[in-house]
Structures are given as C-alpha cells and as structure tokens.
Structure 1
Amino acid sequence: MRCFIAICLPHEIENRLRSLIEQLKPLSHAVKWVKPENLHLTLKFLGEADEDKAPEITGALRDVTAGHKTFTLTAHGTGVFPNANWPKVVWVGLDSGNGLLALHSDIESAMEPLGFNPEKRAFTAHLTIGRIKAIRNRSDKPLQLEHLMHEVQARLKEDFGSFETREIVLFKSDLKSSGAVHTVLSKAPLG
C-alpha cells in the first residue's frame, strides 16, 4: 500500500482554500488542482509499505505524539515550487513555530528503524493546492501560467486562518484516474 503521515485541515480552512482554488482555476488550464477534501500537510511520505506494517507504524507515531503538545498552524500566503521561472507545484504556506519542526524531526527519526529513509530535502511546511501539468512546448509555459503567477504573487501575504493541531493521521493513498483517494488507517493524538 502507498501511504503517508499528515495533518488534516479543519473544514473552515478547507473551505477558504476551496474558495482560493476556485478563484485560481480559470487563470490556467495547465494546473491539476487538488480536491479540497484531499488537502493536508504531509509530514512524511512513506511510499509503498506492507499492510501488516500499519500497526507498527501507528505504534511508533503514538510514541512520538505522546511527547508533543498541541500547537497552532497558520495558513497564509501562496507560492510555487521549485521557482517562479519553472513552477511545478502551487502551494499555500504554513507557520507554526518550533512545534511542527520538532514533530516532523521526531517522526523522521521514528520511521527510520522501520525501514523508511529520512527525507534528504529540508522540510518546508506547505499545503499543495495544485500541480502544474507538463506543457509540450517549453516556450508556451510562461504564457499559459502568466496570469496564475501574477495572482500567486499578489497573494503572498494573504491569511487563510489558523487552527489547533491535535493529531496526526496515517493515510493509505490509492491513485485512481479521477485522482488520489486517501483512506485513514490510524490517528495519533498529540500530548
């Protein structure tokens, strides 16, 4: 099974981001937008794992979360990865202070003995709201994204709200032609 560890969004934030996506959609047909119900903060992508490993992963996550208090996340600003000249991902940023970074670090450490290698890239807290599709003619890409990039830049400081993080979730992800379907395997409450 393909799985990942994440923080879910409350409906209020999900609805604000649904509105944002609806405003951005008409600006470029080169973007595959994430369904609002699939929005989440990925803490660790595990990739393929045997289903019988889920209880072991859950146990390790519960050990980690027992040592962490709840914390507040603030969704604000929009941007792109890897850069504005050749964007591949449209995102909304997240601020949390040290609580999220410590939790992420402890999850990485707890997953390594279970056979999941630590991520080589630095952790950047964000919500992926869209993925830019391949454009056959590279010279067309700037034209197809010009209006979108202008709007993304204009929303750098926009606030989408704050929420209390109380748990992390282990998800199974099935890739379908209609998009990813995420199923909750287990939850681990903080502190």
Structure 2
Amino acid sequence: MRTSIKYQFQVETKRIFIAIKIHHKNQIRKILPQVQLDLKDEWIKWVDLNGLHITLGFIGATDVRKLELIKMRLRQCGNLIPPFQIRLKALGAFPSINKARVLWFGVDGDNSIYDLRNELVNQLEHIVDFSDTKFSPHVTFGRIKHGVKNPEMVKQKLESYNEWYDETFWVKEFVLMESKLSQDGSVYEVLDRFALKEA
C-alpha cells in the first residue's frame, strides 16, 4: 500500500507598509499633553511619538522574496518626486468625529504627497495589492479601543483644535516599514529609506 506524503513549505512573510516618518515633533510635544488632559476620561492608547508617521500605502503580509523588487521600485519612485513641504493641522477621528476610534492630526500641503502616493501605486502595480480605500493623509496619535464613553465631549474637544497647525517642514525621504504585532500594540521597524529626487 503506497502512502501519499505531502510536503508543505511555509512562506516567510513580513507585514509591511510605506510611510513618511515624522521627525518634526516640537509643536506636537506642546499640544499633545493638553489633548491627553482634555480626553483623560476616555480609555485611549496613545501612540509613541517615535512611531509617528503618515502611511502612504499599507501592503500587509508580503513574501520576503518580493522585498528586493519592491525596494527597487520604491527607489525608482523616489527618483521621480522632488522634496516637498507639509505641516500638520487640526485634529480629527476615524471613522468619524461622532464615532471616534482612531485619533489623528491632519496633513496640509500641496498635491505633492498625492503625487508620491500615485507614483507608488503605479510602480508597485502587479507586485502588491494596495487597498482601494481613498488616500487620506493623516498622522495617528491615539486609538480608542473599547468605544467612546462621551461622544459629544470628544467631538467638542477635537473641534476645539480646528485652528491649530504645526510648523511647516520638508519631506525629503520615505521609508519601507515592518509592523510587528505585540501585546502592547504594533512595533515599527524601518527596513529601508528612499530619498526623494535631488535638485
């Protein structure tokens, strides 16, 4: 009697995304303690300032054998987009300010960040699968895991920062990051950096 033996090969993957790291934190360090005080009655998981970033594209679990090809395409993308300026402004929430689950700083600037995002999508087409959701640049600074206790209060506090804005700063590179899940939340590691087009 012949025995059929099946061999299973486990593919090594990394949970990756493309982002702009936020290094300019002077104004954030001034405003965040006040925001935390305003929302002290809510159960919020605050993001480590060292992990602040703008997600340009979330790729997710990816075969590590694709990483070098992805990096090559990202370098090509960087060579096409010149450095640009942005600033953080106002506060908001996903899925809406009335049902806050993710708290964020808005991003203000010209169309350059959208040009960069579009070029990433073009360069990585047929290699990875980007989400079809509309690109909305933001910087997450807190997460409300178990729902809002006082929705109206949270809405009022967030709206009170509608006129706030950070100092303008230059974006000269973007990064490929790995997100590692842990009991304390996501841990981010920069896998590679990609400079934007030199003048």
With the length of structure 1 as denominator, give the TM-score of the two structures.
Answer: 0.88
CA contact (8 A) 2:58 2:130 kept: no
Partner of 1:185: 191
User: Which of 142, 156, 164 is residue 162 of structure 2 equivalent to?
Assistant: 156
1:14 is aligned to 2:22: no
CA contact (8 A) 1:77 1:155 kept: yes
SS of the aligned residue for 1:69 comes to coil
The size of the alignment, in residue pairs, is 182
Q: Structure 1 vs Structure 2: percent identity of aligned residues?
A: 30
Within 2, Cα distance between the matches of 1:22 and 1:58?
37
Deviation at 1:90, TM superposition (A): 0.9
Q: Which amino acid aligns with 1:17?
A: I
1:172 is aligned to 2:178: yes
Partner of 2:54: 41
Mapping for residues 97-136 of structure 1, pairs under 5 Å: 97-114=110-127, 116-135=128-147
Within 2, Cα distance between the matches of 1:149 and 1:186?
38
Deviation at 1:146, TM superposition (A): 4.2
Deviation at 1:142, TM superposition (A): 4.8
Deviation at 1:96, TM superposition (A): 2.1
Q: Deviations over 1:124-145 (max 9, x none)?
A: 111011111123xxxxx352x4
User: Which of 86, 94, 99 is residue 107 of structure 2 equivalent to?
Assistant: 94
Structure 1 segments unaligned to the other structure (5+ residues): 136-140
Q: Which has the larger radius of gyration?
A: 2
Deviates more, 1:179-188 or 1:40-49: 179-188
Deviation at 1:15, TM superposition (A): 3.8
Within 2, Cα distance between the matches of 1:70 and 1:133?
36
Q: Which amino acid aligns with 1:16?
A: Q
Q: Deviations over 1:44-90 (max 9, x none)?
A: 01100122322111111011110110000111111112212211111
Partner of 1:63: 76
Runs of 4+ deviating beyond 6 Å: none
1:25 is aligned to 2:36: yes
SS of the aligned residue for 2:126 comes to helix
Within 1, Cα distance between the matches of 2:73 and 2:108?
25
User: Which of 34, 59, 79 is residue 92 of structure 2 equivalent to?
Assistant: 79
CA contact (8 A) 2:88 2:167 kept: yes
Structure 2 segments unaligned to the other structure (5+ residues): 1-13
Deviates more, 1:17-26 or 1:150-159: 17-26
Q: Deviations over 1:150-170 (max 9, x none)?
A: 221010120112110101100
With the length of structure 2 as denominator, give the TM-score of the two structures.
Answer: 0.85
Within 2, Cα distance between the matches of 1:187 and 1:142?
40
